[in-house]
Amino acid sequence: MGWSVTIGRFFGTYVRIHITFLIFLAWIGFSAYQRAGIEAAKQSVVFIVAIFACVVLHEFGHILTARRYGVRSTQVTLLPIGGVADLDKMPEKPYQELLIALAGPLVNLVIAAILLVIAGAMDGEILRRIDDPSIGLVEKLAATNVFLAVFNMVPAFPMDGGRVLRAALSMWLGKQRATMIAAQIGQAFAFALGFLGLFGNPILIFIAFFVYFAAAAEAQNSFVQQATHEVRVVDVMETRVVSISRGATVGEAVDILLATSRESFPVLNASGGLIGLLSRDDIVEAVRDGDTNAPVAPFAHKEIATITPEQTLDAALEQLVDAPAVGVVAADGRLLGLVTKQSVAEVMLIKAARPDWQFSRGGRVG
C-alpha cells in the first residue's frame, strides 16, 4: 500500500504504518493538548499507540492462523481505522476461513483478560466505565480490547464477523452467493453508520465510506476468484502472440513495436522456447542506449512467470500481480500463448454478462 513506512518485520511479515495514521496520531495529541495540556496529550498518544499495538496482535492472530492452511501474508498496514493484513489468497475450505476470522477477535479477548488480571478488575464493572477519566491506562486498554472484539464480530464486511458469516453461509450456499449476502449486509451496515454520523460524529461517516467500498471490493474479488477458478488457461490464453527472436536487433524490435499495439513481447529461441519478455519500456531503454544494430535480447526480463495450459486461470492471476504477462508453455518449453491482464479482464466481462458461459477452444458452448 502506497504512502506507508515499514517499522519492522515479524514472523516473516512486514508491519507498515500508513501516513494517515501518523496524521491521526498527531491530531489526537494536539486535540488533547488543547483540552488539558501536555500531560493529557502524552497520555492520549500512548493510549492510541497501545491500542494499535493490540490491533497488530489482532492481525497476527489472523496471519499465523492462515499460515497453518498455506495462506501467506507479506505485510500488515496500520490505518486510522485499524489494520489490514495482505493475505495472498483466501483459504479453499469454509471452516478454514471461519477459524482465521475468529482468531483476531480471540486475540483481543485474551489481551483483555490478561490486562484485567493485571489490573485486578475481574468483576466486569470496568467495561462499563471506559469513558471514566479516573480509570487507569491498563483498565481502559482492557475495555477497549473487549470493544474491538465485539465490534469486529459485527456480521458485515470487512469486519471479521462478515467473514464468519460468509464462511458459515458458504457451507450451504457456496462461496460466491455467501459473499454477495455478506457484502450486502456490510453495505447496509455502512449506510446505518453514515446515517448515525450525520448526527454529530463525522468519524462514523468516514468509517461508513470505508466499510461500503471494502464490502463492494470483497464481492468483486470473490467474483473474480470464482470465475477464474472455473476457467482453464488453454481456453482463454492469447494465441496470436507477436514474438521477437533471440537474435533480433534493437532496430528490428522497434519495427515490431510500431507495427502492433502490444505492450509486451515474448523473446523466443530457435525452437520456440520462451527465454524472456520485452516490454515497451525495455525497447525504449534499448533505443536510448544508442546502438540500433545491437542485440535486443539483453534488455529482456529473463525471469518471466510461466504456467501450463491445463492449469486454471486463478493460478495465472496470482502471478500477474507483479508481471505484465504470464507465458503459457508446453512440457518441452515451447510457448503456446500468453495470459495478460487484458485477457483476464475480457474473461470477467464475458462471465459478468453470462455467468454460465463455458469457454472452449473447440467452440463456444452457451
The predicted pLDDT at position 135 comes to: 65
The reply to whether omega before 298 is within 30° of 0 (cis) is no
Domain locations along the chain: 1-153, 155-229, 233-353
- Would you say 328 and 306 are in contact if contact means Cβ atoms under 8 Å apart? yes
> 123 or 316: which carries more pLDDT confidence?
316
pLDDT of 109 over the 90 cut: yes
| Main-chain dihedrals φ then ψ at residue 238, nearest 5 degrees | -80, 120
When the pLDDT of each residue in the chain is averaged and rounded to a whole number, the result is: 81
Q: How far is CA 296 from the centre of its chain?
A: 36
pLDDT of 110 over the 90 cut: yes
Q: Which of 219-223, 237-241, 327-331, 345-349 has the lowest average pLDDT?
A: 219-223
| DSSP three-state, residue 276 | strand
Q: Which of 194-198, 244-248, 288-292 has the lowest average pLDDT?
A: 288-292
| Main-chain dihedrals φ then ψ at residue 133, nearest 5 degrees | -65, -15
- Cα(257)–Cα(262) distance, integer angstroms: 7
In which band, very low, low, confident or very high, does the pLDDT at 107 lie, cut at 50, 70 and 90?
A: very high
Type of residue found at 78 = L
Q: Which of 41-55, 81-95, 190-204, 329-343 has the lowest average pLDDT?
A: 81-95
- Dihedral sign for Cα 274, 320, 13, 24, please: positive
The predicted pLDDT at position 361 comes to: 63
The predicted pLDDT at position 106 comes to: 94
pLDDT of 364 over the 50 cut: no
Q: How far is CA 284 from the centre of its chain?
A: 32
Mean of the pLDDT values across residues 297-313? 84
The predicted pLDDT at position 108 comes to: 92
> 174 or 123: which carries more pLDDT confidence?
174
| Residue 104 Rama label (left phi>0; alpha psi -120 to 50; beta) | alpha
- Cα(244)–Cα(148) distance, integer angstroms: 56
The CATH code of the domain at 233-353 is 3.10.580.10
Q: Tell me the pLDDT tens digit for each residue of 28-57.
A: 777 777 777 787 778 878 888 888 888 889
Q: Output the nine-digit C-alpha cell for 314.
A: 486463478
| Residue 360 Rama label (left phi>0; alpha psi -120 to 50; beta) | beta
Residues identified as active-site: 59
| DSSP three-state, residue 293 | coil
Confidence (pTM) = 0.66
Q: Output the nine-digit C-alpha cell for 151.
A: 465490534
- Cα(6)–Cα(148) distance, integer angstroms: 24
Residues 6+ apart with CB under 8 A from 127: 142, 143, 146
| DSSP three-state, residue 357 | coil
Type of residue found at 234 = V
The predicted pLDDT at position 362 comes to: 45
| Main-chain dihedrals φ then ψ at residue 17, nearest 5 degrees | -115, 125
Q: Is 18 annotated as a binding residue?
A: no
Mean of the pLDDT values across residues 85-107? 84
Q: Is 229 annotated as a binding residue?
A: no
Type of residue found at 142 = A
In the chain, the percentage of residues whose pLDDT exceeds 70 is: 92
In which band, very low, low, confident or very high, does the pLDDT at 133 lie, cut at 50, 70 and 90?
A: low
pLDDT of 126 over the 80 cut: no
Q: Output the nine-digit C-alpha cell for 303.
A: 525471469
pLDDT of 129 over the 60 cut: no
- Cα(330)–Cα(308) distance, integer angstroms: 6
HSE, side-chain direction, 13 A CA sphere, residue 211: 28
| DSSP three-state, residue 78 | strand
pLDDT of 90 over the 80 cut: no
The predicted pLDDT at position 130 comes to: 54
